[in-house]
Copies of this chain bind each other. A is one copy, B any other.
């Protein structure tokens, strides 16, 4: 039930007035995200969330709203994190192959980490869940899929401009193949396919996309 005994989290705080919070919203949201990602929306109870975050239900409620809102906020958080690591990879100039390797390695790390087994990709998990019945959630999922496509397309477009790919290469087709590779490893990771095999799939896909190993 306890989360952390350090109330003065960030340095500068404007001296809040009432009783201090016993939790840090950011890390609590992270715990909720982990749970939702592993168990899905429907089979994660508020009791589970309460235990994982160290907050009791009323606190959860006042901090994040009801279960659906908490799920949405968790997903947004997931996307922000993913975007951040993507941006990091796109910051420097490098060969396509290397950039692809980094992107896939990052994906694998996200999907395979987790204390109680691989967690997979939250976008894929949400897409496959009953939650897609909710139009707002479905829109977010679609946006997540599109964002990944665009990142890969950007990657291949740059490569083509630099002459790393033949003129016949279609960046958007390659991007969809790359996204497909991400999706397949996300799914396989949930089935506990060992890391080695997932890495082999990635390597094979890269070879096909940018030309054989060298």
Residue ranges of A at the interface with B (Cβ–Cβ < 8 Å): 38-44, 120, 124-125, 127-130, 132-133, 138, 141-142, 145, 168, 170, 172-174, 176-177, 179-181, 183-184, 187-188, 190-193, 201, 204-205, 207-209, 212
Contacts and interface: CB of A to CB of B under 8 A. Distances in A.
Which of A42, A120, A209: most chain B Cβ within 10 A?
Answer: A42
Nearest to A142: B191
User: What is the total number of copies of this protein in its complex?
Assistant: 2
Give the dominant DSSP class at A's interface: helix
A133 to B, nearest CB: 8
B190 A132 contact: yes
Contacts of A40: 40, 42, 128-130
A130 B190 CA distance: 10
A137 B173 CA distance: 34
Contacts of A208: 173-174, 177, 208-209
- Considering residues A145, A170, A187, A201, which has the most beta carbons from chain B within 10 angstroms of its beta carbon? A187
A188 B126 CA distance: 11
Closest 6 CB pairs of A and B: A128-B128, A173-B204, A180-B184, A42-B42, A42-B43, A180-B180
Contacts of A207: 173
A127 B174 CA distance: 25
Given A181-B180, A184-B183, A145 B191 contact: yes
